């Protein structure tokens, strides 16, 4: 660090957004550096796609892509115009990393996230971008409406013409994510929406849910109530776990669930047959019973759902699982049908930032110029990636946001002379 401590562009954070920003700025022939607090770059990237690296989502219509990020998703349209999904795929392909598409998810062909990181490291080296590892930022100083310098915790000072904050959020704390970037942005005058875990599994109090560990369902519906008022319907793949519920449908709804939990008591009703009302389902059960009168009730109902799940339903309805179908009373049958349609569970929080895929919260988009990623408060400051209060569902959307905002920030930073 003693050899050089002044750069044209200084990127704080060596994740996907920061790396893309640095690469883009370097293409302008500038002296660019990355400050990374860890001893390796892009540690969180190694975890994406279950270690396979879900690079992006094959949504090639930018407007439809923006819609995936919620009501403020339109903010990302200029970034997607700057680097869209096709351009992102081309970037990796042209640099020697083959990709493949499974459904709408785009992965590296080798199924190894480490290959993506290695490629990015090679590009940084080829473009002579300085990367300073184990560089923990202590503060970012400003004079008026401009950043004057970055001071590391060991006392060293680094200066630049432009600064890009790409520090990520607080998710996967084991990778070194602490939410430190929010503190820096706030110290520079930005408002921060309180960070919360996003795309995170949820905990359920009931032991019967935990006893279903390993079972997944695509056909069931989970109706979420806040103080007994229906607020959210969750459909899609849900996985029962030893702590509660996970799977894409739960992860994508977790931020909404967390927000609702701040307003009242959350209960979730499991509907195993959402396409049928109680009357229709009871009619089907009566017909099933008439064809299997001499079977045990457990064996009879196992024609409909996994045996493990049937055992739970019978327990919840207080029905003896060894009882013959022809001995089941009308009251017992109605209780079974009710549990098929409305097995109640109580929300007991999320698994927290340690297990969250992303962070919900951060720098408000309204304080960032969408066409450049430039701060509306600090002239020579730009933002990229998860530090911004926007996120999409699982499936590569959040990495695409990192690539696109990083590219736009990296392209805009050399033009810092632009007035606010």
Digit-coded pLDDT (tens) for 111-147: 999 999 999 999 999 999 999 999 999 999 999 999 9
Dist. CA 414–CA 411, nearest whole Å = 7
pLDDT band at 176 (very low <50, low <70, confident <90, very high): low
pLDDT at 175: 65
Task: State the pLDDT at residue 28.
Answer: 95
Q: Residue 220 in contact with residue 208, Cβ under 8 Å?
A: no
**Summary mean pLDDT of the chain:** 94
Q: Quote the pLDDT of residue 2.
A: 42
Question: Could you report the per-residue pLDDT of 217-249, keeping only the tens digit for each?
Answer: 999 999 999 999 999 999 999 999 999 999 999
Whether residue 173 is predicted with pLDDT greater than 70 in this model: the reply is: no
Give the Cα separation of 304 and 28 in Å (integer). 62
Per-residue pLDDT of 324-381, as tens digits, reads 999 999 999 999 999 999 999 999 999 999 899 899 999 999 999 999 999 999 999 9
Q: What predicted TM-score, i.e. pTM, was given to this entire model?
A: 0.90
User: What would the two tokens of residue 78 be?
Assistant: 């200029």
- List C-alpha distances in Å: 120 to 7, 28, 115: 21, 18, 9
378-403: average pLDDT: 96
**Side-chain half-sphere of 275: how many Cα atoms within 13 Å?**
4
Q: Cα–Cα distance between 355 and 165 in angstroms, integer?
A: 24
The token duo for 266 is: 């959350």
Q: What is the pLDDT of residue 170?
A: 83
| pLDDT tens per residue across span 190-205 | 999 999 999 999 999 9
Q: What's the pLDDT at 125?
A: 97
pLDDT at 47: 83
């Amino acid at each position: 660090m003693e050899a050089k401590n002044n750069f044209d562009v200084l990127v704080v954070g060596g994740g996907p957004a920061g790396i893309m920003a640095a690469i883009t700025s370097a293409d302008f022939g500038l002296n660019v550096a990355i400050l990374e607090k860890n001893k390796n770059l892009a540690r969180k990237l190694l975890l994406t796609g279950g270690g396979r690296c879900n690079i992006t989502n094959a949504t090639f219509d930018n407007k439809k892509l923006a819609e995936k990020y919620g009501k403020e998703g339109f903010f990302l349209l200029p970034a997607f115009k700057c680097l869209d999904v096709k351009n992102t795929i081309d970037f990796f392909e042209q640099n020697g990393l083959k990709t493949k598409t499974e459904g709408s998810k785009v992965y590296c062909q080798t199924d190894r996230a480490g290959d993506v990181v290695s490629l990015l490291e090679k590009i940084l080296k080829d473009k002579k971008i300085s990367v300073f590892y184990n560089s923990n930022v202590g503060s970012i100083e400003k004079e008026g409406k401009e950043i004057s310098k970055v001071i590391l915790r060991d006392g060293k000072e680094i200066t630049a013409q432009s600064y890009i904050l790409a520090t990520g959020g607080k998710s996967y704390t084991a990778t070194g994510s602490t939410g430190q970037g929010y503190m820096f942005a706030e110290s520079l005058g930005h408002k921060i929406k309180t960070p919360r875990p996003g795309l995170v599994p949820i905990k359920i109090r009931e032991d019967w849910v935990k006893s279903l560990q390993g079972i997944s369902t695509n056909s069931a519906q989970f109706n979420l109530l806040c103080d007994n008022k229906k607020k959210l319907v969750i459909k899609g793949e849900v996985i029962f776990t030893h702590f509660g519920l996970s799977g894409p449908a739960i992860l994508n709804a977790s931020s909404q669930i967390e927000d609702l939990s701040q307003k009242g008591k959350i209960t979730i009703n499991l509907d195993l047959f959402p396409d049928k009302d109680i009357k229709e389902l009871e009619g089907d059960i009566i017909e099933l019973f008439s064809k299997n009168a001499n079977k045990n009730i457990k064996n009879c109902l196992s024609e409909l759902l996994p045996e493990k799940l049937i055992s739970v339903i019978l327990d919840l309805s207080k029905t003896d699982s060894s009882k013959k179908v022809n001995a089941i009373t009308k009251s017992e049958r109605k209780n079974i049908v009710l549990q098929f349609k409305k097995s109640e569970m109580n929300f007991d929080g999320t698994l927290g930032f340690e297990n969250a895929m992303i962070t919900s919260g951060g720098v408000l988009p309204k304080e960032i110029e969408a066409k450049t990623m430039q701060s509306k408060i600090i002239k020579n400051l730009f933002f990229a990636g998860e530090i911004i209060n926007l996120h999409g569902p699982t499936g590569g959307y959040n990495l695409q946001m990192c690539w696109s905002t990083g590219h736009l920030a990296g392209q805009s930073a050399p033009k810092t002379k632009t007035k606010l």
